[in-house]
Amino acid sequence: MTNKVEYPLPTATLRLSGDHLDPEGITNAISVEPSRCYRMGETLRVASGKERRAKSGAWILFADDFDRRHGIEESVANIIGKINYQNALTQICGVEAGYVALALRIGEHPDVGILSPGLVTRIAQLGLGLSFEIYAD
């Protein structure tokens, strides 16, 4: 028996982190509710059911349901389009790092991983990096 987790791929997630991160402050600053958030030191329950202490604070936003016909662009635009903030997100509420994680599966159609120049520019304006998580079947 395996405990393999099935991820709906491709998808995108916005992740902000920092030791002094203030989740409520971020939510108020950008006018978006996170999918998940926690402060450094909070007790978290992991997939195995065990508990652990958060080594850093985090504010996470998952893309809404993704339509595979439109590629990862739609998933990223879904997240970035919700953010009502014009400056770098790394300048607010204890955020030390931020990135958009793109989760892709090996063998997906090549167009699934294309991001438009306008969307990449907006990601950069928000001070966010891009992370690529590549999964095999």
Question: What is the radius of gyration, based on Cα positions, of the chain?
Answer: 16
From 11, 29, 40, 2, select the one nearest 133 (Cα to Cα): 11
Tens digit of each residue's pLDDT (9 = 90 or more) over 72-105: 888 888 888 888 888 899 889 999 999 998 887 7
> Would you say the pTM of this structure is higher than 0.85?
no
Tens digit of each residue's pLDDT (9 = 90 or more) over 25-69: 999 999 999 999 999 999 988 888 899 999 999 999 988 755 555
| The pLDDT value given to residue 136 | 75
Query: What residue segments make up the domains of the chain, in order of their start?
Result: 11-135
Place of tokens 């998933």: 75
Q: Is the pLDDT of residue 4 over 80?
A: no
Mean pLDDT of 126-134: 89
